[in-house]
């Protein structure tokens, strides 16, 4: 069917959801908007789906949510009756229509006789991961668009280990989802008729999670001594972070933190920020104002579904600087390994996990403490997969996992990035340095002095619409067909193509990469720098990752600038 025929089918549908009908009416005279909404189904991939809320098969709405859930239900039915009985945990964040999407998913599962456990109100993504494990579910669903703008929502699928569904299972679910031709015709059983197939959950899971999070704190005596004096500002950016973050901090013994009052309120419009993304300095505007007033040691922010944590540290001149995800990850790795080494608890088989586009500074830190660093593909599901593997073969003891995009995991009772765990650990680290009359700025500077000056930058280029998808695909083809031999006059030593799973040296030698396939290219340069190119799996973006090392901040800044200019040629 053409997009116009699909649009007419939706337009004529008599039982159309009221909000979807309103969206259809608003766009009926805008052919470009209609085409974009109906030209192709919303992409459902290994991370689920994410898109603008509205009418159409290429939008987030109750019908595309039912379609995604129907595909998951078909996958579960294929596994057997026991898996159906184990059920699916469902949570949602503060975004528009999140409660409706969550219940819509539960009602779709109920029509297949599949049990669901639905949170009574908004909860963080890491608690959904925990709930999957807590109830021994076969899968989980999180309704969230993470840190995207207010007009977005999304649908993330989790596997039975509590991690985002691994590629093999996700591919199977994707095939089922794509086999469904008409999302308007999917059966569902309303909550009132579903009986005990739909279970509403809440405090029981909160309490169990908070009990487990006690294990995140490393030095309880330190927190007793100094936790109450640490002046910290915490903003959940209108999302779910307040739900457990506030309770976790108080439970651990931190008493002097303050919430940003305007942003402690759940708000689907994120009315006080341009973007609810803790990676961006503008997200800290309100926290900085309150921090200056309170003379705070540390400012922390969680994104709307509280799986990412950002932080701003006080500088020597009293201003605040937002740290990168790589800097925060390095500080946490250093603190955890040093603390365990000092306490004699650092295992000989300890391992830290990070993504291939994250900084190499934590690798240098791991070398000092004789700890193994393992790189995985981008996506926290690959970190979760490794944790599961180590549990089964007992080959390594997990210490920490992180991604440069502000995702961290300390204790594996959750199998996704967990901003509540990171919040607790970072508060402890800040208290540690406060006892020494230092800040986290002093901490990262000391790390640079010891291990060298590392700098990284991520450049995201948005290419929206039908043409954007084609441009991104063509860009990757063009780079593969004309491999660069240098960037900014620095020669390429070798490159890794994760799609073909090969490492190729410019001398001609080839090696096999033992990682799953992914549409990513990574170039390793002769001066130790690296550059990676990767299409986003959840957004219409192509991303360029730069990593450099030098003997000073000035040297690394120049290298980053030179390489940024060099990669700009690819998007001209």
> What is the per-residue pLDDT across 320-338, written as a single tens digit (0 to 9) for each?
999 999 999 999 999 999 9
Which residues neighbour 390 within 8 Å (Cβ) at sequence distance 6 or greater? 351, 396, 397, 398
How much is the average pLDDT of 268-278?
A: 95
Residue 538's pLDDT is: 65
- List where CATH 3.30.310.50 sits in the chain: 453-571
Q: Greater confidence, 496 or 47?
A: 496
Asked whether residue 188 carries a pLDDT value surpassing 70, the answer given is yes
Residue 470's pLDDT is: 87
Residue 167's pLDDT is: 82
Residue 536's pLDDT is: 82
CATH hierarchy code of domain 3-201: 3.40.120.10
* 146 in catalytic set: yes
Helix (H) or strand (E) holding 117: strand 116-119
Query: Residue 528 CA to chain centroid, in angstroms?
Result: 28
Q: Greater confidence, 540 or 39?
A: 39
How much is the average pLDDT of 246-250?
A: 98
- List where CATH 3.40.120.10 sits in the chain: 3-201, 216-451
Q: Which of 437, 359, 445 is nearest to 402 (CA)?
A: 359
Q: Which residues, in sequence order, are bridge partners of residue 373? A: 352
Strands (E), 202-326: 232-235, 257-259, 298-302, 309-314, 320-322
Residue 168's pLDDT band (boundaries 50, 70, 90)? Answer: confident
- The fold for domain 453-571 equals TATA-Binding Protein (3.30.310)
Residue 24's pLDDT is: 95
Q: Give Dmax (Cα) for the chain.
A: 70
Which CATH superfamily hosts domain 216-451? Alpha-D-Glucose-1,6-Bisphosphate, subunit A, domain 3 (3.40.120.10)
How far is the C-alpha of 24 from the C-alpha of 8, rounded, in Å?
Answer: 11
Q: How far is CA 183 from CA 40, 94, 187, in A?
A: 13, 25, 10
Instruction: Find the catalytic residue in 146, 226, 358, 529.
Output: 146
Specify whether the CB–CB gap between 172 and 75 falls below 8 A.
yes
What is the gyration radius of the CA atoms in the chain, in angstroms? 24
Residue 166's pLDDT is: 84
Six-digit token string for 400: 């920490």
Q: State the DSSP string of 17-53.
A: -HHHHHHHHHHTT-HHHHHHHHSSPPP-BTTBEEEEB
How far is the C-alpha of 11 from the C-alpha of 565, rounded, in Å?
Answer: 48
Q: Which of 302, 300, 310, 305 is nearest to 279 (CA)?
A: 310
Residue 197's pLDDT band (boundaries 50, 70, 90)? Answer: very high
Q: Greater confidence, 403 or 465?
A: 403
Six-digit token string for 377: 């593909």
Residue 316's pLDDT is: 92
Residue 141's pLDDT band (boundaries 50, 70, 90)? Answer: very high
Asked whether residue 359 carries a pLDDT value surpassing 80, the answer given is yes
Residues 108/111/112/115 CA torsion (nearest 10 deg): 70
Specify whether the CB–CB gap between 400 and 408 falls below 8 A.
yes
Residue 233's pLDDT is: 98
**pLDDT, tens only, 396-431:** 999 999 999 999 999 999 999 999 999 999 999 999
How far is the C-alpha of 208 from the C-alpha of 213, rounded, in Å?
Answer: 9
């Amino acid at each position: 069917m053409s997009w116009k025929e699909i649009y007419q089918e939706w337009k004529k549908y008599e039982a159309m959801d009221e909000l979807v009908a309103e969206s259809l009416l608003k766009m009926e005279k805008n052919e470009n908007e209609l085409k974009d909404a109906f030209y192709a189904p919303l992409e459902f991939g290994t991370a689920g789906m994410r898109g603008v809320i509205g009418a159409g098969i290429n939008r987030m709405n109750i019908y595309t949510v039912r379609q995604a859930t129907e595909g998951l239900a078909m996958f579960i039915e294929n596994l057997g009756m026991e898996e159906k009985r184990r059920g699916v945990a469902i949570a949602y964040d503060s975004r528009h229509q999140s409660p409706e999407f969550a219940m819509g998913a539960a009602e779709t599962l109920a029509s297949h006789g599949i049990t669901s456990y639905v949170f009574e109100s908004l909860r963080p993504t890491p608690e959904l991961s925990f709930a999957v494990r807590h109830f021994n579910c076969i899968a989980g669903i999180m309704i969230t668009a993470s840190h995207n703008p207010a007009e977005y929502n999304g649908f993330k699928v989790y596997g039975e280990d509590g991690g985002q569904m691994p590629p093999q299972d996700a591919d199977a679910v994707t095939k089922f989802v794509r086999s469904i031709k008409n999302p308007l015709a999917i059966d569902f059983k309303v909550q009132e008729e579903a009986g005990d197939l739909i279970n509403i959950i809440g405090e029981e899971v909160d309490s169990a999670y908070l009990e487990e999070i006690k294990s995140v704190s490393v030095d309880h005596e330190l927190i007793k001594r100094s936790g109450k004096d640490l002046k910290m500002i915490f903003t959940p950016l209108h999302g779910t972070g307040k739900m457990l973050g506030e309770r976790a901090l108080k439970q651990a013994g931190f008493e002097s933190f303050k919430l940003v009052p305007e942003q402690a309120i759940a708000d689907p419009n994120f009315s006080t920020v341009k973007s609810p993304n803790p990676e961006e300095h503008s997200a800290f505007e309100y926290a900085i104002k309150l921090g200056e007033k309170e003379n705070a040691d540390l400012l922390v922010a969680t994104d709307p579904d509280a799986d990412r944590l950002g932080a701003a540290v006080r500088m020597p001149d009293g201003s605040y600087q937002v740290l990168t995800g790589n800097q925060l990850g390095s500080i946490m790795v250093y603190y955890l390994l040093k603390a365990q080494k000092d306490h004699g608890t650092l295992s000989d088989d300890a391992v830290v996990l990070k993504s291939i586009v994250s900084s190499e500074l934590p690798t240098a830190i791991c070398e000092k403490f004789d700890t193994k660093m393992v790189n995985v593909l981008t996506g926290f599901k690959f970190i979760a997969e490794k944790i599961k593997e180590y549990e089964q073969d007992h080959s390594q003891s997990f210490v920490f996992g992180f991604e440069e995009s502000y995702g961290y995991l300390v204790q594996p009772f959750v199998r996704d990035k967990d901003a509540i765990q990171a919040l607790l650990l970072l508060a402890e680290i800040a208290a540690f340095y406060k006892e020494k009359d230092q800040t986290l700025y002093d901490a990262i500077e000391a790390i640079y002095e010891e291990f060298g000056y590392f700098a990284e930058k991520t450049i995201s280029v948005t290419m929206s619409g039908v043409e954007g998808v084609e441009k991104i695909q063509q860009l990757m083809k063009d780079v593969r067909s004309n491999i660069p031999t240098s960037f900014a006059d620095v020669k390429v030593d070798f490159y890794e193509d994760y799609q073909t799973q090969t490492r190729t040296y410019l001398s001609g030698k080839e090696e096999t990469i033992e990682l799953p396939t992914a549409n990513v290219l990574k170039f390793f340069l002769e001066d130790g720098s690296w550059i990676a190119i990767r299409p986003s799996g959840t957004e219409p973006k192509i991303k360029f990752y730069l990593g450099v090392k030098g003997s000073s901040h000035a040297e690394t800044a120049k290298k980053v600038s030179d390489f940024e200019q060099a990669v700009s040629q690819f998007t001209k």
